A and B are shown apart, each in its own frame.
Chain A
Amino acid sequence: MKLVVAIVRPDKLTDVLEALFRAEVRGLTLSRVQGHGGETERVETYRGTTVKMELSEKVRLEIGVSDHFVEPTVNAILAAARTGLVGDGKVFVLPVEKVYRIRSGEEDQAAVTPVPETADVG
């Protein structure tokens, strides 16, 4: 199992989510973060105060996947999040020691494999 962590532009988020659903990647966590990846900083002015905004808004996606799903997941993100300009973000793939599904107590491979929708009912 791997944990795929992707940092992408907020305005590319919809494209990325769409690509992930197309690639049949289910189950992800999303957070709004701020970061700096070497893009040119913005200059903003408030009355007489001029500031350089070093941090830009980004979105972080965390997706736990089984090994054979790593490649389609990463490829979907790479294709959907790219604009070709500095600041497009990063994808990290991390090894995962242990995974538990809280609802059922399932572990590892079974815990990151989505269950059919009907099983959720009740």
Chain B
Amino acid sequence: MSGSDTAWMLVASALVLLMTPALGFFYGGLVRSKNTLNTLMMSVSALGAVGLSWALLGYSLAFSPGTPLVGGLAYAGLRGVGLEAQGTIPHLLFMSFQGSFAIITAALISGAIVERMRFGPYLAFITLWSLLVYAPLAHQVWGGGFLARLGALDFAGGTVVHVNAGAAALVAAFMLGPRKDYARQALLPHSVPFVLLGSGLLWFGWFGFNAGSALGASPAAALAFANTMFAPSATLVMWTLLDLKRTGKATAVGAATAIVVGLVAITPAAGLISPLSAIALGAVAALPSYFGLLFRARTRLDDSLDVVAAHGIGGTVGSLLTGVLAQKAWGSPTDGLLFGNPAQFGIQCVGTLVAIVWSGALTFGLLKTIGAVAALRPSLRDEGLGLDVSQHGEEAYARDEGAILILSEPSPAPVAATALAAATEGGRA
């Protein structure tokens, strides 16, 4: 057990947890004002639903010994997860750190289905998704499953988190169908400052995500930190140049998107490639996502906030380039294609493909099942009114004109009080 490792991992876990509300603001700014709270709640509620399911069952399915596909039940209900060492940090801390990953991965999917999903089915979806899709894939890559044995490199979650969420997002957007106003009206971001605030906080939290994945206060963490800083810089520069070339104007929403794409792309490679490779990776990663976004907007696929382009494509590019740029000299277990080991590129392709197929197929089955039990979408009228009011009974930007205070709220409290008073009187008599 190491004190310095423990200290760093405590901080890193908190940083990763911050990414989920940050994602809420990133997404919340991109939707119309009448759906702001619903979009934020899609992220915030994952902190509850997925956090709880992770502690009670998900962690065991991901990290306890089991089959090559999924872990066992040895750690269910946190049995045997205590303060003993797991590596150089307390087991409980390792479990918490991994939990913050499960939470944000589930929340990432929400970007594809904002402004049109009923909240109850959404909660059921992310809870079950984290158990049935995320936890097994985490086991396959990190928990000693078959991709781990195959030698697929994924430093901080390129396949487990981003390719996984991107594939689920593609399927979810397809199954829910487009928003009623999609391709009929201009659907504009209602608060671009929120989008930039969210992307900035995501970057901040991502240092915990990537440098924390070294699982200690080590040189590998320093490498991952530097790569997490400079790869997105390169993506941002490249994106700005593409914007300038295409429209003559560098957009703010584009900058926020570029930051996220760069962060996604460097994730699988963060502690495995040289800083110069990271800069090249960041710059290259801008291209497919940039043109993916442009292409998607011309299709009928309403992946509303472009989770597929940012996380699916960005994650895939990052995972594949990890197989190209990985270097033993920088701490990678194996070299990549560019350093004399072309086989690693093939292994990365297999790992990425498995993540896409696994996530896509299971997400399809899960949404079909939930859809058979409950309607996934609100009525057209509720969608028109906005999900803040129709799902949550609140508004993001409420005005007090016309709001009349209800003083006598019908609740069981007065009844109970009367009954109690009567009982006391009865006792006295």
Instruction: Mark A residues whose CB is within 8 Å of B.
Output: 9, 11, 14, 34, 36, 42-46, 49-55, 83, 85
Which of B185, B395, B399 touches A14 (beta carbons < 8 Å)?
B185
Could you tell me if A85 and B381 are in contact, using CB atoms closer than 8 angstroms?
Answer: yes
Given A14-B184, A50-B409, A85-B381, also A44-B404 (CB < 8 A): no
Q: Flag whether B412 is at the interface (Cβ < 8 A).
A: no
Interface assignment of B84: CB less than 8 Å from any CB of chain A: no
Contact between chains at B402 and A43 (CB < 8 Å): no
Contact with A along B364-405 (1 / 0, CB 8 A): 000000000000000001001100010001110011011111
Q: Which of A11, A46, A53, A55 meets B384, CB within 8 Å?
A: A11
Q: Chain A: which residue is nearest B407 at the CB level? A: A50
Asked if B406 CB lies within 8 Å of chain A CBs, one says yes
Instruction: Provide the bound-state CA to CA distance between A45 and B6, in Å.
Output: 42
User: How far, in angstroms, from A41 to B403 measured CA to CA in the complex?
Assistant: 10
Contacts A51-B403, A51-B404 known; A44 to B385 CB distance under 8 Å?
no
Of the candidates A46, A49, A55, which one forms a contact with B401 in the assembled complex, judged by CB atoms under 8 Å apart? A55
> In the complex, what residue of chain B is closest to A48 when comparing beta carbons?
B409
Contact across chains for B395 and A43 when beta carbons are under 8 A apart: no
Q: Per-residue CB proximity of B195-209 to A under 8 Å, as 1/0? A: 000000000000000
Complex: chain B residue closest to A55, CB-CB: B402
**Total chain B interface residues with beta-carbon distance under 8 A:** 19
Contact yes or no, B406 A52, CB < 8 A? yes
Evaluate contact between A83 and B406: CB separation under 8 angstroms: no
- Evaluate whether A44 and B393 lie within 8 angstroms (CB atoms) in the complex, with A11-B385, A14-B184 already known: yes
Residues of A within 8 A of B403 (CB): 44, 51-54
Chain A residues near B409 (CB-CB < 8 A): 50
Known contacts A36-B402, A85-B381; 17 further A-B pairs (Cβ under 8 A):
A14-B181, A34-B402, A42-B389, A43-B393, A43-B406, A44-B394, A44-B395, A45-B393, A46-B398, A50-B405, A51-B405, A52-B403, A52-B406, A53-B403, A54-B402, A54-B403, A55-B401
Q: Once the chains bind, are B402 and A53 in contact (CB under 8 Å)?
A: yes
Q: Which residues of A contact B181 (CB under 8 A)?
A: 11, 14
Indicate if the CB atoms of A52 and B404 lie closer than 8 Å: yes
Name the 7 nearest CB pairs between A and B, nearest first. A55-B402, A11-B384, A54-B402, A51-B403, A52-B404, A50-B406, A14-B185
Q: Which of B184, B381, B402 has the most CB of A within 10 A?
A: B402
A49, B406: Cα distance in complex, Å: 8
Closest CB in chain B relative to A120 CB, distance in Å? 25
Query: How far is B80's CA from A23's CA once the two chains are assembled, in angstroms?
Result: 73
Residues from chain A with a CB closer than 8 A to the CB of B404 are 51-52, 54
Q: Is the CB of A44 within 8 A of B406?
A: no
Chain B residues in 8 Å Cβ range of A52: 403-404, 406
Some 12 contacts from A to B, beta carbons below 8 A apart, are A11-B384, A14-B181, A34-B399, A36-B402, A43-B393, A44-B393, A44-B395, A45-B394, A46-B394, A46-B398, A51-B405, A54-B402
Which residues of B sit under 8 angstroms from A53, Cβ to Cβ? 402-403
- Minimum CB distance partner of B386 in chain A: A11
Which residues of the partner chain B approach A11 to less than 8 Å between Cβ atoms?
181, 384-385
Nearest neighbor of A36 in chain B, beta-carbon distance? B402
Task: Give B250-273 as 1s and 0s: 1 = Cβ < 8 Å from A's Cβ atoms.
Answer: 000000000000000000000000
Q: Is there an interface contact between A34 and B401, defined as CB atoms closer than 8 Å?
A: yes
The closest CB in chain B to the CB of A43 belongs to B393
Q: How far is the CA of A43 from the CA of B402 in the complex (A)?
A: 12
Q: How far is the CB of B197 from chain A (nearest CB, A)?
A: 23
Cβ–Cβ < 8 Å partners of A44 in chain B: 389, 393-395, 398, 403
| Smallest CB gap from A45: residue in B | B393
CA of A2 to CA of B405, assembled, Å:
41
Q: Which residues of B contact A9 (CB under 8 A)?
A: 384
In the assembled complex, the Cα of A51 lies from the Cα of B398 at a distance in Å of 11
CB-based nearest B residue for A50: B406
Please measure, in the bound complex, the distance between the C-alpha atom of A36 and the C-alpha atom of B403, giving whole angstroms: 12
Chain B residues, CB < 8 A from A36: 402
